[in-house]
Structure 1
């Protein structure tokens, strides 16, 4: 791929290593040469920071990054015993060190159903030293959907989350619970800024004092898009497109797969959004044949909000990315309604 066509959060090969681009900048064209592109990237297996400087017209290799999900059957002598989709076994993935390994071990000891996502690229996989990703168990183990006569997709066996305002006077903070509407799973802190439309929101796990998952950042009133900044130092851009029927696009940096939040309809009573794979939308695949990744519905006018987010359990590993983008899309939609 030509260097100038690379994008932040995409993948590239630097010094023979598969990397994810976390920053890039282009210098002005010199009097006797091409513009230069400065790439800063993270090795997807080792986490090591790598940099490269290349003419914008030169070609660079892009790795084919593949993610496969396996069910964890057992942990034996420091290795994960995984079940493949065709019923086979995969026993060459080591239990990762650190927090991810501790999470996997604790969930396994508690008897939970665990799906492990293994990333591979350029012939390298976690069995060669890189850590697998741990997917928290979804509220439902299976997934199915049925098409209704009105064209809406019934959400069957999707993980369910409820979003409420925290109830304080003038407060804009959100509380996110599971289907029981009791246990606080996440908390979105929204500092009140009078006469300002900038965002600097903090999504936290477990409550207002819990560890920060990410920040949601946006400029002033006329800034259409927003950005999600993760503790690891990289960011996800959620870009607004369209005029009357808004939609928002973002990329899963681990796979390079693009997703699109599309508004289902112009309803006064509620804001309805569906999350699709962008490749299927661009190919004009009929809705009934697309993969519904998530659905987000929230009333337009209630003070408590009581929004409901449903996530396809096959995408449980993207739960926090989907939640963050859904909250940003909802807030941006409300801003637009107030000032349109």
Structure 2
């Protein structure tokens, strides 16, 4: 019987609230799955995502040429993700008129997906939706925590692209969070 429960990934900020690097742990909260090494300059941010730890195999590099708020009538340049395993570029784009922070990208199956942020009084979350509106993954932001950033839950329908979902989710949380 196939596992129908979502896979759970726990994201922690290294260095507390001011730290730029992050570590992603498995459901047991002890096994290191990914390490994010972040850097930023005045006009861009980028990170390298490694498997297991800072010296593990490179999963991808992510670059955003824009840091700052959207201006009226503009769409910023896309966030570019270079996936190393299949040597594929993935572009995360905010579309003109999408002021809610939604970012669209294409999966390895060539279908369109989007991360859609939702905020409530005591809860922030993002949902990754398929082109049909099915929830592929969710990211719940941990509020009032010094080191834990949140939890990514990938549904069975998204497991074929778990590395990409981790990368796009972390791109949505970098650099402002």
TM-score of Structure 1 vs Structure 2, range by shorter chain: 0.7 to 0.9
2:30 aligned to 172, 179, 182, which one? 182
Task: Give how far 1:240 is off.
Answer: 1.6
SS in 1 for 2:94: strand
State the Cα deviation string for residues 75-110 of structure 1 (Å, max 9, x = none): xxxxxxxxxxxxxxxxxxxxxxxxxxxxxxxxxxxx
SS in 2 for 1:307: strand
1:317 aligned to 137, 140, 160, which one? 160
Partners in 1 of 2:130 and 2:17 — Cα distance?
A: 39
Partners in 2 of 1:304 and 1:168 — Cα distance?
A: 5
SS in 2 for 1:210: coil
Partners in 2 of 1:184 and 1:300 — Cα distance?
A: 22
Partners in 1 of 2:155 and 2:17 — Cα distance?
A: 34
Task: Give how far 1:270 is off.
Answer: 3.7
Contact 2:94 2:102 in 1 (8 A): yes
1:159 paired with 2:159, answer: no
Q: 5+ unaligned residues in a row in structure 1: which ranges?
A: 1-112, 114-140, 144-156, 282-290, 336-340
1:248 paired with 2:96, answer: no
Aligned runs of 1:77-116 on 2, under 5 Å? none
SS in 2 for 1:191: strand
Task: Give how far 1:169 is off.
Answer: 8.3
Partners in 2 of 1:182 and 1:247 — Cα distance?
A: 31
State the Cα deviation string for residues 229-259 of structure 1 (Å, max 9, x = none): 1224431001123444221111024x21111
Residue-pair matches, total: 168
Q: Calculate the aligned-residue CA RMSD, in Å.
A: 2.4
Contact 2:60 2:82 in 1 (8 A): yes
Partners in 2 of 1:310 and 1:168 — Cα distance?
A: 22
Structure-2 change in CA distance of 1:237 and 1:266 (3 Å) = same
Structure-2 change in CA distance of 1:301 and 1:198 (3 Å) = farther
1:205 paired with 2:51, answer: yes
- Structure 1 segments of 4+ aligned residues over 4 angstroms from their partners: none
Of the two, which has the highest radius of gyration?
Answer: 1
Partners in 2 of 1:224 and 1:267 — Cα distance?
A: 28
Give the structure-1-normalised TM-score: 0.45
Partners in 2 of 1:259 and 1:192 — Cα distance?
A: 26
Contact 1:269 1:301 in 2 (8 A): no
Structure-2 change in CA distance of 1:262 and 1:170 (3 Å) = closer
